[in-house]
Amino acid sequence: MPDTRRSWKEVRDRIHQKILSGQVRPGDKLPRDADIAAEMNCARTTVQRAMQDLADSGLVERRRKGGTHVRRDPVTRATLDIPITRNEVEQKGNTYGYQLIGRETLAPPHSVQAAFGQNLPGPMLHVQALHLADARPYILEDRWICLQTAPEILDVDLSETSANEWLVMNKPYDDLTLRFYAEKADEKRATLLGTDPGDALLVIERTTWISGAPITTVKSSTEPGYQLISRS
According to CB under 7 A, which one of 2, 21, 63, 76 is a site residue for DNA?
A: 63
The one of its own copies, DNA, none whose footprint includes residue 180, by CB under 5 to 8 A per kind, is its own copies
In this structure, what DSSP letter does residue 72 have? S
Residues that bind its own copies (CB under 8 A): 16-17, 19-22, 26, 58, 73-84, 87, 168-172, 174-184, 198-203, 206, 224-230, 232
Smallest CA-to-CA distance from 200 within 188, 182, 212 is with 182
Q: Please state, in angstroms and rounded to a whole number, the distance separating the CA atoms of residues 58 and 51.
A: 11
Residue 67 CA, chain-centre distance (Å), reads: 30
Contacts of 115 (CB under 8 A, 6+ apart): 177, 205, 207, 217
The one of its own copies, DNA, none whose footprint includes residue 136, by CB under 5 to 8 A per kind, is none
Q: Please state, in angstroms and rounded to a whole number, the distance separating the CA atoms of residues 27 and 226.
A: 39
According to CB under 7 A, which one of 39, 56, 67, 186 is a site residue for DNA?
A: 67
The one of DNA, its own copies, none whose footprint includes residue 6, by CB under 5 to 8 A per kind, is DNA
The region that residue 162 occupies, defined by phi over 0 for left and psi between -120 and 50 for alpha, beta otherwise, is: beta
Is the separation of the CB atoms in 194 and 137 below 8 Å?
yes
231 is a site residue for DNA (CB under 7 A): no
The one of its own copies, DNA, none whose footprint includes residue 1, by CB under 5 to 8 A per kind, is none
13-31 as b/e, with b when 16 or more CB fall inside 10 Å? Answer: eebbeebeeeebeeeeebe
Specify the stretch interacting with DNA by CB under 7 A; choose among 36-44, 83-91, 122-130, 172-180: 36-44
Taking the least distance from each CB to DNA, the nearer of 55 and 168 is: 55
110 is a site residue for DNA (CB under 7 A): no
Question: Closest separation between CB of residue 224 and its own copies, Å?
Answer: 8
Specify the stretch interacting with DNA by CB under 7 A; choose among 55-63, 150-158, 177-185, 196-204: 55-63
As a residue count, the chain comes to 232
Which residues contact DNA (rule: CB under 7 A)? 5-10, 30, 32-34, 42-46, 48-49, 51-52, 55, 62-68
